Amino acid sequence: MLAIRLSRTGSKKQAHYRVVVCEARRATESRFLEILGHYNPRTQPATVKVDRARVEHWLKAGARPSETVRTLLARHLTETPAPEAAPETGAAGQ
């Protein structure tokens, strides 16, 4: 089974992560099939760069995202609708 999960990179106390596709039974830091993007939690706000088309491809191919990746994608990669113009309240034309 394939998994989409994070693979830690970076140095001690300066972690950043790759979003990778790999065999679910392999170790986290071992070989992977493809790098889908990067995640850096140390920036304000956190930097998330992921190729959405490739993520969708792997999900259709049967890869399962880890809980962390699922949350990451839901928070940072969902399309946020543009705020609708609120109707003006108050006395207009006075």
Q: What is the pLDDT of residues 39-93, one digit of tens each?
A: 999 999 888 999 999 999 999 999 999 999 999 989 877 655 555 555 556 565 5
CATH of the domain at 64: 3.30.1320.10
Q: Specify if 84 maps to a domain.
A: no
Question: Model-level pTM?
Answer: 0.75
Strands across the sheet with 34-40, in order? 47-50, 34-40, 14-23, 2-11, 64-65
In a domain, 18, yes or no: yes
Domain count within the chain = 1
Residue numbers of the domain that contains 12: 2-76
Q: Is 90 a member of any domain?
A: no
Whether 81 is in a domain gets the answer: no
